[in-house]
Structure 1
Amino acid sequence: MSSQPRLYRQIYDQISSQILSGEFAPGSRLPTERELSEHFGVSRPTIREAIIALEATNKVTVKAGAGVYVKKSTDLNAGINNEVSPFEVIEARVLLEGESAALAAKMITPSEKVELQAAFENLKKAGIDNTPASADADRKFHEVIARATHNRVLANQIHALWELQENLEHIKEAHTSVCDKQGAKRIDEHLVILNTIVEGDADGARTAMQRHFSNILEVMHAALEQQALEAAKLKGSQMRERFTIGLFSDSK
């Protein structure tokens, strides 16, 4: 039996792992076929077969004359569409980012503590309004924590969730409305997260991050209930107007 299929599969697995870890970032161009051949110490036909397998499993896209590119997070999440609710995204974030905060509290380096403090100061400076600058600062704060875990797979998954949140319009709108309502409370919650991580308090960091997302969910639920109430009132008003016109309009 030929060992060639096993060999290309090994290369496929290694490149897949590098994509998942973020070593080959979403949207980036893979090294050339020749470079990959030299790097892995295999023939170019073997690399070609591995690339075909990567393309078939939706990990890369091959652009004629341009090279092989890692699919962006939104492409990697192509199976996730508008049927996904904002609640599902927040639930995924609290599960991943709660543990991310706990791990970061144990693993964060002195330079990363400085970076996290600077990210918080930028968030505070951007203000309590949900401006693009504030949204960018918020994301930066969370991504510093993700990197401080020193777990590239975990950091990459959190990055993918941010991409999902920002690229599915209904989820972006829901998150924006929540940030608009949280105001100064959002800054206070991030300060608690910052302090617990810097102090190395893993349990406290996990609780602070979970409480932050719990508050987001509470605001989101309240907004949903308000929307339902307003829709019901509007429907009732329309029904009242319709039947009032039908029963009491002047006859001609």
Structure 2
Amino acid sequence: MKRITGAKGASELVPLAEEDGRLYRRVAKAMIAEMHSGSYAIGDRMPAERDIAVKMGVSRPVVREAMLAMEVLGLVEARLGSGTFVIRLPGETDEPEFAVSPFELVEARMLIEGEAAALAARHITDDEIQRLAHLVTAIRRENAEEGGGDNADRAFHMTIANAGRNTAISKAVEQLWTLRSTSPECRLLLEKARTANVKPMVEEHRAILAALERRDPAAARDAMHAHLNAVLQHLLFAVEEEAVAAARQSVAAARERFTPLTEKD
């Protein structure tokens, strides 16, 4: 979206031009441009996600990606129970550098890991099937542990990639998982997901394993796509849950404030 700027707070958003690049990057750049123009000062609260989405003509997930990118750039900070606030203004020569967004990553994983699963169904060995079964159990165990990691989850997906007997695919999947842990935007959203108690779903991994056991390429592809679609929904929930938690905290505070003193005794 491009902006016609007047006095502070009086600027008007207009629809983003299609040639400006990835939607979330365009939204982030538009909001950074607002900061450049003086529409925001340090300490100002950013508009609500839904308001930005309506004004810029994009979906709320796109706005979430943009806000994550701005948070990584150190321009804004999400505060539980309060909203998102400007904590630093960009310099005149600042050019935002974007890493891989978590939603871009899941999109790429759908394309590559779906086909990796279909290929694995044709070549997987009984030993690899057994290893995947053990890893499903390990995923359940990691989920139950406080602060449990995702080692078993990564090993599960890499075992499938390797089972296709295609080095290029194995390396591609490995790179996607590396990006998952090295992209600042991905790391930030994963932290939010852990805070919201979002963990790998054991049943989704079991469904992938069942399709591989049947040596059914189409079913393996579909099961992987279903799993990664669920991952995308879980990531969206992680950001939404932060907003829900903030709303609950605000309601609780208001209830406490307006409770008659006689009821508090």
Q: Normalized against structure 1, the TM-score is what?
A: 0.53
Aligned to 2:106: 90
Aligned to 1:166: 181
Given that 1:104 and 1:146 are in contact with CA atoms closer than 8 Å, whether structure 2 keeps it comes out as yes
Alignment of 1:112 onto 2:128:
yes
Sort the Cα spacing of 1:231 and 1:111 in 2 relative to 1 into closer, same or farther, 3 A: closer
Aligned to 1:23: none
Alignment of 1:147 onto 2:158:
no
Sort the Cα spacing of 1:113 and 1:230 in 2 relative to 1 into closer, same or farther, 3 A: closer
What is the CA–CA distance in structure 2 between the aligned matches of 1:204 and 1:95, rounded to whole Å? Answer: 15
Query: Which residue identity is paired with 1:113?
Result: I
Aligned residues between the structures: 152
Does the residue aligned with 2:201 lie in a helix, a strand or coil?
helix
Given that 1:178 and 1:216 are in contact with CA atoms closer than 8 Å, whether structure 2 keeps it comes out as no
Query: Which residue identity is paired with 1:103?
Result: L
What is the CA–CA distance in structure 2 between the aligned matches of 1:109 and 1:169, rounded to whole Å? Answer: 37
Q: Pairwise mapping of residues 46-195 of structure 1 onto structure 2 (< 5 A)?
A: 82-128=98-144, 131-132=147-148, 134-178=149-193, 181-183=197-199, 186-195=201-210
What is the CA–CA distance in structure 1 between the aligned matches of 2:146 and 2:171, rounded to whole Å? Answer: 25
What is the CA–CA distance in structure 1 between the aligned matches of 2:198 and 2:209, rounded to whole Å? Answer: 18
Sort the Cα spacing of 1:150 and 1:130 in 2 relative to 1 into closer, same or farther, 3 A: farther
Root mean square deviation, CA, Å: 2.8
Sort the Cα spacing of 1:105 and 1:156 in 2 relative to 1 into closer, same or farther, 3 A: same
What is the CA–CA distance in structure 2 between the aligned matches of 1:195 and 1:227, rounded to whole Å? Answer: 34
What is the CA–CA distance in structure 2 between the aligned matches of 1:91 and 1:150, rounded to whole Å? Answer: 23
Given that 1:98 and 1:210 are in contact with CA atoms closer than 8 Å, whether structure 2 keeps it comes out as yes
What is the CA–CA distance in structure 2 between the aligned matches of 1:224 and 1:135, rounded to whole Å? Answer: 19
Sort the Cα spacing of 1:176 and 1:230 in 2 relative to 1 into closer, same or farther, 3 A: closer
**Structure 1 residues 149-174: Cα deviation after superposition (integer angstroms, max 9, x where no partner):** 10110000000011111112330232
- Range with bigger deviation, 100-109 or 174-183: 174-183
Q: Normalized against structure 2, the TM-score is what?
A: 0.50
Aligned to 1:221: 236
What is the CA–CA distance in structure 2 between the aligned matches of 1:130 and 1:199, rounded to whole Å? Answer: 34
Given that 1:165 and 1:172 are in contact with CA atoms closer than 8 Å, whether structure 2 keeps it comes out as yes
What is the CA–CA distance in structure 2 between the aligned matches of 1:205 and 1:177, rounded to whole Å? Answer: 29
- Range with bigger deviation, 157-166 or 173-182: 173-182
Aligned to 1:196: 211
Given that 2:161 and 2:173 are in contact with CA atoms closer than 8 Å, whether structure 1 keeps it comes out as yes
Cα displacement (A) at 1:219: 2.2
What is the CA–CA distance in structure 1 between the aligned matches of 2:146 and 2:121, rounded to whole Å? Answer: 27
**Structure 1 residues 86-119: Cα deviation after superposition (integer angstroms, max 9, x where no partner):** 1001110111111111111111012211222222
Given that 1:128 and 1:186 are in contact with CA atoms closer than 8 Å, whether structure 2 keeps it comes out as no
Query: Following superposition, which runs of at least 4 residues in structure 1 exceed 4 angstroms of deviation?
Result: 225-232
Point out where structure 1 has 5 or more consecutive residues left out of the alignment.
Answer: 1-80, 233-252
Point out where structure 2 has 5 or more consecutive residues left out of the alignment.
Answer: 1-96, 248-265
Cα displacement (A) at 1:231: 8.8
Query: Which residue identity is paired with 1:87?
Result: F
Sort the Cα spacing of 1:111 and 1:208 in 2 relative to 1 into closer, same or farther, 3 A: same
**Identical columns (%):** 33
